[in-house]
Structure formats: structure tokens, C-alpha cells
Amino acid sequence: MTGPSSSDPLVVFTPSGKRGRVPAGTPVLTAARRLGVDLDSVCGGRGICSKCQITPSFGHFPKHGVTVDEGALSAWNAVEARYDEKRGLNPGRRLGCQAQILSDVVIDVPPESQVHKQVVRKAAAVRAITMDPATRLHYVEVQEPDMHEPSGDLERLKAALADQWGIDTAGLEAGLPVLARLQPALRKGNWAVTVVLHTPREGGPSRLLDVRPGLHDGGILGLAIDLGSTTIAAHLCDLRSGEVVASAGVMNPQIRFGEDLMSRVSYAMMHPGGSAEMTDAVRQAIDTLITEIAAEAGATGDEIVEAVFVCNPVMHHLLLGIDPVELGQAPFALATSDALSLGAAELGLGAMNASARVHILPCIAGHVGADAAAVALSEEPYLSDDLVLIVDVGTNAEILLGNRERVLACSSPTGPAFEGAQISAGQRAAPGAIERVRIDPATKEPRFQVIGCDLWSDEDGFAAATAASGITGICGSGIIEAVAEMRAAGLLDASGLIGSAEQTGTARCLPQGRTHAYLIHDASADGGPVISVTQGDIRAIQLAKSALYAGARLLMDEMGVDEVDRVVLAGAFGAHISPLHAMILGMIPDCPLDKVTSAGNAAGTGARIALCNRTARQEIERRVGAITKVETAVEPRFQEHFVAANALPHATAPFARLRARVTLPDVGFNTAGGDDGGRRRRRARSA
Amino acid sequence: MTGPSSSDPLVVFTPSGKRGRVPAGTPVLTAARRLGVDLDSVCGGRGICSKCQITPSFGHFPKHGVTVDEGALSAWNAVEARYDEKRGLNPGRRLGCQAQILSDVVIDVPPESQVHKQVVRKAAAVRAITMDPATRLHYVEVQEPDMHEPSGDLERLKAALADQWGIDTAGLEAGLPVLARLQPALRKGNWAVTVVLHTPREGGPSRLLDVRPGLHDGGILGLAIDLGSTTIAAHLCDLRSGEVVASAGVMNPQIRFGEDLMSRVSYAMMHPGGSAEMTDAVRQAIDTLITEIAAEAGATGDEIVEAVFVCNPVMHHLLLGIDPVELGQAPFALATSDALSLGAAELGLGAMNASARVHILPCIAGHVGADAAAVALSEEPYLSDDLVLIVDVGTNAEILLGNRERVLACSSPTGPAFEGAQISAGQRAAPGAIERVRIDPATKEPRFQVIGCDLWSDEDGFAAATAASGITGICGSGIIEAVAEMRAAGLLDASGLIGSAEQTGTARCLPQGRTHAYLIHDASADGGPVISVTQGDIRAIQLAKSALYAGARLLMDEMGVDEVDRVVLAGAFGAHISPLHAMILGMIPDCPLDKVTSAGNAAGTGARIALCNRTARQEIERRVGAITKVETAVEPRFQEHFVAANALPHATAPFARLRARVTLPDVGFNTAGGDDGGRRRRRARSA
């Protein structure tokens, strides 16, 4: 093969700007491949998949130094005409595998024809995901068997992949499920099949996940699964486009073994077989979730060929079938911290394709898991010029602090209060749950919104609009707003004590034992619940927010700073909790409110990025190694910060400015002093 | 590191002859490693495993040009003394990791201290197996976890393997079962463990199969499994020594779906789910066999970390869960022909270690399987100077013909008659089965031996010795000898027809329908069976031997020869069938009797070689690619040879010499002509 000569046509590809000379008559697809241009193709240039559509440009292009005449490409041919007739080709478009370059030409590759297209996140469009999926489709035509040159069908398929796609098949693996499908698919497709090929590292060995008769463009879906202690959330993505085709969530059934992580570790320690029991439970729940999400997308489980999991270390070990007992005691050693790639079958997940692959992001430390790694992958603190604090709240909070120079991470055991658990009227976020609360500082009267209805409770039509769901309880964001609003309305003092009706001037502050509760909604006349915020609820929120705040402060100490430049709220926070109320409560360190942004479900987004972009998997493995881990559980300063953060609010300079805007009254109800809601008083009496 | 200087001590290792200079004070084990000498060690030089025992030689060695004085090695040290006290060290022996080289020395590495030791086959000592197992033990001391430098236990174990053993752990894989064991083992072993490491190719990636607390020398066993259509035979081998620690066999339960391969393929075609049913049956039988063989060896299933399977293509596909339907019709395409490496768990084999690996030898063609590859590996026709015919008889016969220049292979559907099936009094080889038969040419009286008793039936004490087992039937070798002896005694004519009592002169030839049967043993007076050879039995043996002979002839045609230099009999043949009787029957082409040797269970031996030597696996993959496959099923000449081979015996020159020795009478009973036992006579009558 001789190189191109200066008399050969010049081809310039946009938007990449890649250019070069190719012999006249070269198909555009071939030229693109030779010049390293990102132009998609499933059928390998046979004019049947239409993935390689391009748009030629004509005229003079000073920028590229090229003048393109109308005859720069070969004429529209029969293959294109047939394709246009059957499926329609947009005006100006050509099939890259059919159109041949005859003279100098400028060719635009539209985004949908790029393999590495970018997908803009819909829910929270902070940044786009570049598609570089590990699993792709390849159409191949396989040599028929010949009795006199006997070789296996798989060996001839490999030869075809090497020959027609340039794939290095020396290390290509094919598991038993795909071997069982191979012979029928080849014969049904008349020796033409579309293979689903998994290549976790570019140029690395591949694995054959599936074989489908004939040309089969589509049907490769992947799951991004955020396996939390309380909920399991999954996004089903099209691995060709990156599009989310369905989302679903279920409660983690392990809750019955313990609400928080440490109670599950205890369960494993106290009950022989308890760890295996929890492993079975979570795997079954995931399988059910997969079946449901596939049904929602109108897909079969067989089309789901990949999944990426992010989770905290305890969930990580329980998913893998590893007893988490070591994670319950110092030095909190993980069985393995590196990213894992394994078969879905190894995890006993049967609802996906039998050859489906599972990738699990690396853990950062014994208490800082793959979920924190996913948040880092999504929010990229290591690329930030200013100092960013990233807080992802779940049953555990993952906290990252850093910039280009250094990133710190820790995990803080906030417990499930922020998710509405351990709250007297608490419930998970579902229709009927109070999610927004406002309290008039003058009248002390509440108004609220419930999930599933856009009206406030004092607006016309609210009763009718919520009749179906009822008003059933209060979810995590609701309780946080309620507590913050109670503080702002002077119903709580700085220690967190709820005042009496006399002290607050509202009959909604009702006595409850030795303390008081603030009534938000009483539906008992209609047989509904009475929804109040009790002193116990306030204490639960105080404990949770103190843990969260203490974790963030600990990282700030480690970094040697008293302030951060910006705060990113993720997880339940970003999605539902009002940053203003979070800051009133002192959940997060002070920061100008306009520097607080929401990242939505960052762990889930990180999982989606890893699902859609195999290079990102390697990137986060590298980055995780450079993150400094801070262990809250054994750090004395964590305890100090925790105790100091109990008050509502703690007052630092930036927070004072915020407080000026939201007007926190300086009330105090605990006449006996102290901040423990009466217990200390009782002790004082009995002493 | 500077190179050795000429003033450094010279060390010469025997028997390898490897030599070099090392700095004074270098331990012998270190010197051996540096010079590439094969000296074993499990503990990595810590003086606890004793695998590196060596014997220093003293005095003058003209051959090596060395004089060794008594102080050439450092004095016996405390580690050696303690070891000697606890476990005993043979006189003259030293621990290679403890003894330091102080001046010139000659050191002998005894066979038991070599990794690549040779194991002499006991049953049929044709050639030795050089040990080079894929799975080995490594003792490592692992860094304890540190909260401030968090990393997983697996990652620290990998670092230890890289550091203490120089193993490239970048691609080291560890499945979930071993991950689940890792943390308890490390803690129980106080951060010292013995790992079971599987490295299928030297220098290639490894897989962690097991982790055991502390130093654990032993407990790595491997299975060589010959998965036949009728029987499944397994040898359990110690992967350190190559020693066979137990052998066992079971009937293949697939027999209930069809006795021969084609009837099983038919079953799969005719019954939806039939293929999966047969897969389940054979996998369960293998699992039961594994449990039994482990128990017989006093081992646990957990100690069995590897298995090598050899089998014909239909069994290969059914084991793997692949529908064998394509193997039942031209062009007999295999789903995959290459060697396979997979997890025992993928095959649903639960009786071995949960991380155990399975290696399946490559298939040669659609009808020539991994069993034929194993025979080739055992008998190495491709290294033979003279032209060798290798015949391995099972329900299918694998036939190889070749020499250094060219090797041909085919498979011939002999059916199960040679294994005692489809025979009126047939049974499998088990106590009570008649396995040897002699018929006096003068009296026409038979005498016989049964399995489990060394006496002949006409010897004193035979009745008592066989009272327990009874005389229950006739096995494959028995029926072959019976037919050959009947021919030699003049009870059969050349067409295979049994003569009447009048024609033969013995009342043992009893009428049975329109034909006759020869009575070998009548136990009916004691409620036992009547064991006769019927005309149908003769026909079944004729069909089987014709198929076998035709296959061999077809290969000879293809090679362009009329004679072979030597014949190797393997399988049931080698183990039980008398070569003389086989040749009387015309089962195999003529060859001087002293050029006929027995190879025992060559397929099983091939499996054992592959189990004990990973390089052999690659060797046979390479060799198989160079073997020319001949397809009997579509070759018209096969049919011609088959028909021509029906007579007993066909007469060629070398066979005439043989016949001269064994005196075959020239009798003929079929007065109506023809050789089909009367059917043609009936047709002639009705015509």
C-alpha cells in the first residue's frame, strides 16, 4: 500500500477539523477511519445501518483552504436511494459508506453519527457525558462451516470480527450462555449476525456478550444503579445514545435487618448466616427492580447487557457476598477497594442478559465508598479552581472537599433522619408526604405542600387535589424545612427546645410528656394522621445535622481552612432539600447562598458516566488513589465538632449575613438551661 | 546491584548443570533462582515449608572443575535444627533457603525438590509426565491494614505477592468466593496466608483460587476427567507431585436418553428441552463422582481446584450446555473447537472448590473431539518416526494415523457393543462379569474368568471365589474374546454364522429361533442367568468391528498406505481387550503382533498430562491445528470398507501369518449362502 499523493483529493472533516488526502474513489467512511474521525457504523459499511450519515458542504471554505464543487462526492447511488425510500434520509445527508470522495471536500459529521457523541443530562444539566461505551454492536458476515476445513462457529465468527472490524480477537472470551446461542443465531441470520461486544479498555481484550441474527441496531441497554442503604435507584440507559429510557427505585429490603449501616454490620456479627441473608435480600430486590425497569421501558431483560453499581462500602460488601464485619471495627479494612468487573451471573442477577457484565466503582476507604467515588466522578472536585465542598446526603453522608491541588473525603453517619426515618410522622418521599413547610413568623401558622400536588395547603383546591393521596406524613425535606422554619418563627430556641403555647403564643405548640410538639396538620377528624414535629424529631435532626456538619468541618480542618468557596449539594439534598433551610439549620458550613448549587443525584450521575464512558472508569480509579481519606469514626475532633454543632444555628460571620436575611429571632425556652430537652433537668432534680 | 565477580564462589547445580558465581553469603535458594535452577519453595524462603531441600556434595569434581571443602556452606542453623527436630530432615540434606554459599560448591537438587519433577505413570509406564501445573501454592506475609492509608486486603495481598514472589499482579483476578474468604483467612493466619494461584500460561495473568490461613503445604488437587458416552472416569491428582490419589468412574446417566451419540442428538432434536435435560444429568453425575472421589481420597471438595475434561464433541457440547443438534447433520459444525478455560461454577459443578477452574481440551472436528486430542497428547503420533495407528475404543472409536510428517484423525461410530451394551448377556465391566473366554478347539468347551477373581472357571475354588459376586453377564472384552474364540474353535464361519450342534459337534450350540446361540455358562439351576453368545451378538460385534476397521482403513487410504508400522491400542482396548483376539476378529488392520502395544486409557492419560503440565495444553492446541481431519460420515469409501470388513476375518498377507499361529478352521455353516444369519434365505424363499 502506497501513501496518499499530493494530487489525491483533500478531505476535511468537521467539527473535528481532521484532514488528509485519500485516493479518489475512497468511501467517506473509509476516509474517516483512516484519518481517525469519529464516524459511527454498525453494519461495517454495507449501507444497511445508516449510522454513518454525513453532510457534505459545497463552496469555498477559506478556513480550511478548500473549494468544494458539486461533484466532490460520487452521485447518489442505489443503496442510498433504497435506504431513503425505506427509512428516509434527511435532505443533504449521504451514507458515508456509499458516497465516494472524488475531489476536495468538506464533510460534516452530525452529532448523531458520532460514536463519542455527547449526552446532555436532563434533570440537572451541569455537564454533558461523552459517549464511549464499553459495549457496542458489530454486524458481521461469517463464513459457513466446511466439513473439510473443520473449525467451530465461534472461531469463524472471531475470524470475521478480526477481518471485517479489525478487532483483536486473540483474547476474545465467550461465556457459556452466548455459546449456547451462537449456532441458532448464525443459522437464523443466514450467517450474518450482530454481536454485542464488551471491550472495557480500548484496544484491550473483548468479551462476546450476545449474538443476534441479522442486522440488529439497538437493544443494548445498561443500568446505572445507586445502591443506597435505604433506597435502590436505577436508570436504564440506551448504550448507543446514552439516553435514559427508564428510571425506577425500590426500598432496600435490608432495612428489616437494621436501618443504618452499623446496625446491619451488627446483624451480620450477631446472626450466623446473617450476612448471606442480607446479600440474598438485596440481590433479589435488585433483580426485581431490573425486571420492573425493563418492563417500564418496554424492553426485555435480555437487552440489558451492562450495569454499573455505586454504593457505600457496607452495601458493596453485602452485594458481593462478603461479610461486612471488618467494616464495623477499626481499622475498617475493606476486603477489596479496587474497581471490580464481573459477570451479573456471579452476583446471581438473573433478570439481565445471562452474559451481562457488572462494573463496580472503586471504594475510597472503609467508610468512603464507591458512591463517593461516583460523586467525585460527577462533580470533579479535582478539576475545580476554587475550593469546593460537595455533600451527598443519604443514610450516610459522603463529603468531599478540594480543588485541583488536593481532594479530601470522608463519610459521616447521619442516620436516616434526613430521609424521614426515625421521625414521629416521618415517611419516605412518596405522594401524600409533606415536602415543603413555611411558618408565618407573625401568626406561627404553617402552610405546606405535599408530594404529587403543586398547590400550597392554604390555596384553593388543595383539599380536592390531595384527596386521592391524603396527607400521610412528612418526608426528609419536609422535616428539615419544618425544623428550620420553626427556628425562624421563634418556635425553637438555639438549643433546639420547642416552646410551650404560652412561650410561643400559638396553640399549635402542644404539651407532649415533659416537652412540646408543634402541630402541622391534624386530619384525625377524617380518620387521617396527626402530623406534628416532636421534641424527639428535633433531636434526631440535630444529631443528623451535627454529624453532617462535623464531617465537613473535619475536612476543612484537615485542609487548614475556615471557609469554602462554594458548596455543591447532592443526593436527597440537591433533589429535594432547600439549601436555604439546610443553611438555617447549620447542616452545612456557611457560604454565600449564591455559591451553593445543587447537583441532583450526583452518585447516580457518576454511575451513568461510568456506564456510558469506559475511559471515565479508568479516570476515577486513578483519581480515587489520589484522594486523601479522613476517618471520622476515630478522629477526636469529629466528636468535638459534633457536640459544638448541636445548636441551631451556630453563628459564624458568613452565616450572620444569611441570618440577617432570614431573621432568626433570639428566643430561649429552656428555663432550666441545657439543650437536651429536659433530660438534664431531670438528672439535676434527682441529683 | 553489581554483577558477580570472579572472586565470588562458584556454585554448580546438579542434575541441571546450571552454574554461576554468587556473592559469598548468598542462600542456596536465592542462588538457584538467580541461575534459573528449578528449586521448589512454598514459603518463599522462610524456612518453614522445607520444599527447597538440597544436598551439597563435597570433594573434587573433575567434571565440574570444582573442589568443594566442608565449609562451602554455612553451618547448620537454628531454623534447620528446629525443622529437623519437628519434622526430620534426611541425612546430608540442608534447607536451601537457610544454607548460605561461602565457597565453591556442588549442590544436588533431589527430584522431590523440583517443581518440574517427573511423574512416572504407574498403570502403563510408557512415558513420564513433567510437572508444570497451572495451579500452585504461595505463602505470603501481608501488610496489616492501616486506617490512615486505607486499601483493601486484596490489594495488600497483591502487593505482597508482587514483592515476595515477583508475581505480576496487575491482571490478577479474584472471584467472589475467594473474596468472601479473604478477610477471615488473613486474620486467622495472623496476616500470613498460603494462596492457591492459577497461572494458565507462564508469565501470563493469574487468578486467585483460594486463600488459606498460615502455611498450608498441600491440599491442591486436580481432576483428569474422561467424559465418555457410556462411562465417566476420573483420576484425582495431587497438583504438587502429580501422584494419582484416587480414581473412580460412574455410568453416564445420559444413557437413558440414548445409548450412542447419535441417539442423544436425536433426543435433543425431538424433545424440547431435551438438550438441557441431558446437560443437567451429566453435570449432576460429574458432581456426584467428584464427591465420591474426594471422599475416597480422604480429601474435601474444597481442595479440588482444577479439572481437565476430555470428551467427544457431543459430550463436549452437552457438558457446556450447547444443543448438539448441529453435530447430527452435515457439515457437523462445532459451536466452538478451541480449548476452553472456565470456572467450575459456570458448569454448575458445586462439589469442587467454588473458584475451581476447568480446562477442556480442543476438539479436532465435528466428530473428532477433545478425547482424540487427549489421545494425541498422550501418544504423540506427531513425534513418531514410524507410521503409527492409534485406536481408542469407546462407544465411538477415535483413530489417529501418522508420524512426524503428517497426522490424520477420524472418529468411527462403533456403538456400545465393545462396552458390553446391545449384547444379549452384556453388562458393563464390574465384578461378576465374564471378561476372559477360552474355547478348546477340540472339545468346544469354554472356560472363562470373571472380574474380581483371578481363577479360571475350570480351576479349583472358582465357584467359591465367585460366590459373592455371582456370574452376572459378559462385558466388552469378554464378548470380543468369546466371538474370536468361537471363530478359532470353528463354531463360526467366515460370515459370522453360528453353526448348529450337528455342524459344530457340541451341544452348547443351541437353536434359538432360526439361528443358534453358543452357551457359555448356565447358572439357572441356582437362579442365575444363562449366558450365551447369540447370532445377534455376533452381528453387533461384526457391525462394531467393521466400523472400527473401516475408519482405520479410510485413514490409511488418505495417507496412501496399505500397512502401518505399529498399532497402539487405547481405551477399553488397552485396558482389557486382548490384542490377539482383536486381530483375530479383524477389528484392526493387520500388523505384526509384536508391533501392537497397549497404551491403557490414553485419553485419560492425555487429560492427566494437561492437568499436570500447562505447557502441554498449549502444545496440543498447536498440534491439533495441524492434524488433518477425515469425516467418516460422508466419505463413500468408509461405507465400502465397512461392508468389506464384515467377514471374520478378512485375509491379507500379514494376517495370514497371524492366522497360521492361531489356527482358524475353514468352516462354513450357511448352506443357503449369504452371511446374514438366515434373513437372506428367507427373502430368497419368498421371492
What CA–CA distance (Å, rounded) separates A278 from B634?
Answer: 58
Question: Which of residues B681 and B289 earns the better pLDDT score?
Answer: B289
Among the ranges given (A30-34, A124-128, B401-405), the one the predictor scored with the smallest mean pLDDT: A124-128
pLDDT greater than 70 at residue A184:
yes
- Per-residue pLDDT band for A613 (boundaries 50, 70, 90) equals very high
Sign of torsion, CA A608 A610 A615 A619? positive
Q: Are B567 and B387 in contact (CB under 8 A)?
A: no
Which of B528, B453, B503 shows the shortest CA–CA distance to B518?
Answer: B503
Q: Are B672 and B684 in contact (CB under 8 A)?
A: yes
Calculate the alpha carbon distances from B42 to B47, B164, B195 in Å. Answer: 10, 11, 10
pLDDT greater than 80 at residue A259:
no
pLDDT at B3: 63
Q: B-chain residues within 8 Å CB-CB of A342?
A: 175-176
Per-residue pLDDT reduced to its tens digit, A291-319: 999 999 999 999 999 999 999 999 999 99
pLDDT greater than 90 at residue A407:
yes
Question: Which of residues A426 and B508 earns the better pLDDT score?
Answer: B508
Contact (CB<8Å) B154/A183: no
**B625/A contact by beta carbon, under 8 A:** no
Cross-strand partners of A210? A196
Q: A-chain residues within 8 Å CB-CB of B335?
A: 152-154, 179-180, 182-183
Closest residue in chain B to residue A320, using alpha carbons only: B176
Q: What is the mean pLDDT of residues B583-588?
A: 85
Q: Are A409 and A365 in contact (CB under 8 A)?
A: yes
Q: What is the ipTM of this complex?
A: 0.81
Closest residue in chain B to residue A634, using alpha carbons only: B147
What CA–CA distance (Å, rounded) separates B360 from B374?
Answer: 10
Q: What is the mean pLDDT of residues A581-595?
A: 85
**B363/A contact by beta carbon, under 8 A:** yes
* DSSP single-letter state for residue A260: S
Q: Are B492 and B517 in contact (CB under 8 A)?
A: no
Q: Are B588 and B389 in contact (CB under 8 A)?
A: yes
When the pLDDT of each residue in chain B is averaged and rounded to a whole number, the result is 87
Long-range contacts of A675-682 (CB under 8 A, 24+ apart): A675/A495, A675/A496, A675/A497, A675/A646, A675/A647, A676/A539, A677/A496, A677/A497, A677/A514, A677/A515, A677/A535, A677/A536, A677/A538, A677/A539, A678/A514, A678/A515, A678/A535, A682/A514
**DSSP string over A184-198:** HHHHHTTTEEEEEEE
pLDDT at B656: 47
Nine cell digits for residue B17: 548443570
Q: Which residue of A180, A321, A335 is in closest CB contact with B154?
A: A335
When the pLDDT of each residue in chain A is averaged and rounded to a whole number, the result is 87
Q: B-chain residues within 8 Å CB-CB of A273?
A: none
- Per-residue pLDDT band for B459 (boundaries 50, 70, 90) equals very high
Nine cell digits for residue B81: 535444627
- Per-residue pLDDT band for A250 (boundaries 50, 70, 90) equals confident
Closest residue in chain A to residue B347, using alpha carbons only: A176
Which of B332, B334, B357, B408 should we substitute to test contact with A (largest number of A Cβ atoms within 10 Å)?
B334
Closest residue in chain A to residue B366, using alpha carbons only: A150
**A366/B contact by beta carbon, under 8 A:** yes
Per-residue pLDDT reduced to its tens digit, A524-538: 887 778 999 999 999
**B425/A contact by beta carbon, under 8 A:** no
Shortest Cα distance, chain B CAs vs residue A589, angstroms: 25
pLDDT greater than 70 at residue A506:
yes
pLDDT at A113: 86
Which of A639, A662, A664, A660 shows the shortest CA–CA distance to A649?
Answer: A664
**A331/B contact by beta carbon, under 8 A:** yes
**A363/B contact by beta carbon, under 8 A:** yes
Domains and CATH numbers, chain A: 10-113 (3.10.20.30), 119-213 (3.10.20.880), 221-360 (3.30.420.480), 379-416+541-662 (3.30.420), 418-532 (no CATH)
Per-residue pLDDT reduced to its tens digit, A649-679: 643 444 445 545 554 555 666 544 334 333 3
Q: Are B675 and B496 in contact (CB under 8 A)?
A: yes
Q: Which residue of B151, B183, B330 is in closest CB contact with A326?
A: B183
**A159/B contact by beta carbon, under 8 A:** no
Cross-strand partners of A357? A306, A343
Place of cell 458516497: A99
Amino acid at A255: I
Backbone Cα Rg of chain B:
30
Which of A143, A146, A151, A347 should we substitute to test contact with B (largest number of B Cβ atoms within 10 Å)?
A151
Q: B-chain residues within 8 Å CB-CB of A174?
A: 336
Long-range contacts of A16-21 (CB under 8 A, 24+ apart): A16/A109, A19/A64
Neighbours of A71 (CB within 10 A): 11
Which of B556, B575, B312 shows the shortest CA–CA distance to B451?
Answer: B575
pLDDT at A350: 94
Shortest Cα distance, chain A CAs vs residue B177, angstroms: 8
What CA–CA distance (Å, rounded) separates A450 from A521?
Answer: 12
Q: Which residue of B150, B182, B338 is in closest CB contact with A152?
A: B338
> pTM to 2 decimals?
0.81
Q: Are B518 and B491 in contact (CB under 8 A)?
A: yes
Cα A91 off chain centre by: 38
What CA–CA distance (Å, rounded) separates B307 from B220?
Answer: 11
Per-residue pLDDT reduced to its tens digit, B41-66: 888 788 888 889 999 988 888 878 88
DSSP E strands in B142-284: the ranges are 173-174, 192-198, 207-213, 221-227, 231-238, 244-251
Among the ranges given (A376-390, A540-554, B35-49), the one the predictor scored with the smallest mean pLDDT: B35-49
The A residues from 136 to 155 touching B (CB cutoff 8 Å) are 144-148, 150-155
